Amino acid sequence: MILRIILYETNQIKTKMAAPMKTISCHLKLRRTALNLISRHRYFSTTNRKEKGLVLGVYEGEDETLLTNAAEKFDNKVDKKLTNGLQLVKKKLKKGKSRTFYGLDGEFSTVTAVCIGKKGIGYNELEGLDEGRDQIRSAVASAVRQLRDIGETEVEVDPCGDAEASAEGSVLSLHSYDELKSEDKRKPQVKVKCYTQFSQDRDKTSDLWTRGVYLAEGQLFASKLMEMPANKLTPTIFSQIVSERLSNTKKVSVTVRDTEWIKSQKMESFLCVAKGSDEPPVFLEMEYKGTNSSNSPVALVGKGVTFDSGGISIKPSASMDMMRADMGGAACVAGSLLAVARLNLPIYIKAFIPLCENMPSGNAVKPGDVVTARNGKTIQVDNTDAEGRLILADALCYADTFNPTAVLDMATLTGAIDVALGSAVTGVFSNSNIMWELLQKAGSRTGDRVWRMPLLQHYSKQVTESQLADVNNIGKYARSGGACTAAAFLKEFVTAKQWMHLDIAGVMMNQDEVPYLSKGMSGRPTRTVVEFLKLLSEQS
């Protein structure tokens, strides 16, 4: 491990020194330091390896080494070996950086000390973020991955003052969708649990950790569905996977509706998209009723296009494979319901997911066609690649028949929202200040933030001034304010006084923007939606 520390320090120095002679001199100095450390500190031994690691938190400080409560108690247990090890290298740990030690304790083969930032950091009003919670997620994620990469199969994690955030960072960071790869190409499985040996209230800490795990696993369920190839996740297969997973909670009932039922509901807007594919459409209806919940439900609606080619208005081939995740809204609804059920939230939810593919064929809807939605409004389809709003229109109309107290829909609806906001936040359109404020609060806690967009009559006019029908699916000015006109279109099919539309296209995928998420389909903003539902239930 001495060599590991020296390697980290050397890499940092090499990036800062241009002169080769200075680098060589530094290498020699570090080598002499390493030899001295090895002779003086036997606890770096790698003998009796148990493949069990421990993550401990360290606060960023100018002079002294500041440890979390768990780290301090552990340090006392091992006769200050952790503190001594951290002080061997003069440069203090900065936020997100870590050092790994071997042989400090008989129970753990490795101990990684990770800097979680400055102590006492809280809500940043300008960022709209609880930075303290988010820096715990990021730091813990980095440390857990590091221990996985050196071969640990079991890791215990310091709650770092917020066991829920610590659990989220731990579980989310280890996700990898590699089940379709050969076994030798898959990342090793690692079990993570909370390090509660020195917790003053173990039950409370464990409960918070479990809540964080449930939130993370809800998001990862959504992420997995989004990542699955379209030939492995047709509308029928999606409904089977979600039905099985949610039914296993014993708290969610799932009803799968077929094509004949969809026709009986006069969902022509939904069917016009589905008819271009050989895969039959499915309408998924789910119900969760928590204890002490109200009689009126909250409606969740998710766009479920399992593959979007664009239809006759076909997309460019570049990156079309990403359109396997165009059912991200549906996936997030399913992930949210999974977490809600496991958390036993006292809320009544009805969820609706229209599922289909959008494909070109002789049967496909054509630009200029006019269809009739469930509520009787006619729609001029000028662009078949604006299909998400067409299937959502009928789903929103159907949800309205249950007299919901609030309606929340999620959809990877427009590329325009990605252009406007990027991956930092989810774009939100709402006719309710109450709902918006709760969602914003939820996003600040989960670290998965939201941003309110305009829902103005200006945009409504653009979609209602249609040449052939009541509304046009892209509006008068196709390229201007695309996310706003899409939301305005959906508004034409909503009667609820509390409605919120989440355009999640910009947060669909994670490259490296969120450090505690793996690269790939993100499952965002599932945790924020669950936190929103929790806050909403507390107001009832």
Q: Can you give the CATH number for the domain in which 149 is found?
A: 3.40.220.10
Domain co-membership, 314 together with 412: yes
Is residue 207 domain-resident? no
Q: Whole-angstrom Cα distance, residue 526 to residue 331?
A: 9
Q: Whole-angstrom Cα distance, residue 331 to residue 523?
A: 7
Q: Is the pTM of this model over 0.75?
A: yes
Q: Quote the number of domains for the chain.
A: 3
Q: How many CA atoms lie within 13 A of 194 on its CB side?
A: 26
pLDDT digits (tens, 9 = 90+) for 220-268: 999 999 999 999 999 999 999 999 999 999 999 999 999 999 999 999 9
Domain co-membership, 180 together with 268: no
Boundary-marking domain end, from 155, 183, 200: 200
Domain co-membership, 71 together with 14: no
Q: Can you give the CATH number for the domain in which 503 is found?
A: 3.40.630.10
For residue 512, pLDDT over 80 is answered with yes
Which range marks the domain in which residue 3 is found? 1-37
Tell me if residue 232 is catalytic.
Answer: no
The phi, psi pair for 67, rounded to 5°, reads: -105, 155
String of b and e for 284-320 (b: at least 16 CB within 10 Å)?
A: bbbbbbbeebeeebbbbbbbbbbbbbbbbbeeeeeee
- Enumerate residues 6+ apart whose C-beta is below 8 A from 152: 51, 52, 53, 109, 110, 190
Confidence of residue 189 (pLDDT cuts 50, 70, 90): very high
Residue with tokens 């507390």: 538
Domain co-membership, 231 together with 163: no
Q: Whole-angstrom Cα distance, residue 125 to residue 137?
A: 19
Domain co-membership, 293 together with 237: yes
Q: Whole-angstrom Cα distance, residue 276 to residue 297?
A: 34
Q: Looking at 81, 97, 137, 389, which residue is catalytic?
A: 389
- Enumerate residues 6+ apart whose C-beta is below 8 A from 260: none
Q: Looking at 245, 315, 441, 452, which residue is catalytic?
A: 315
Q: Whole-angstrom Cα distance, residue 190 to residue 367?
A: 50
Domain co-membership, 58 together with 191: yes
Domain co-membership, 175 together with 237: no
3 state DSSP class of 21: helix
Task: Give me the helix-helix angle, 202-227 and 235-247, nearest 10°.
Answer: 170
For residue 5, pLDDT over 70 is answered with no
Domain co-membership, 150 together with 243: no
Is residue 146 domain-resident? yes
Tell me if residue 49 is catalytic.
Answer: no
Mean residue pLDDT of the chain comes to: 91
Is residue 473 domain-resident? no
Domain co-membership, 348 together with 240: yes
For residue 102, pLDDT over 80 is answered with yes
Q: Could you tell me how many helices (H) and strands (E) the chain has, helices first?
A: 17, 22
Is residue 271 domain-resident? yes
For residue 143, pLDDT over 80 is answered with yes
Q: What percent of the chain has pLDDT over 70?
A: 90
The phi, psi pair for 536, rounded to 5°, reads: -65, -40
Is residue 472 domain-resident? no
For residue 210, pLDDT over 90 is answered with yes
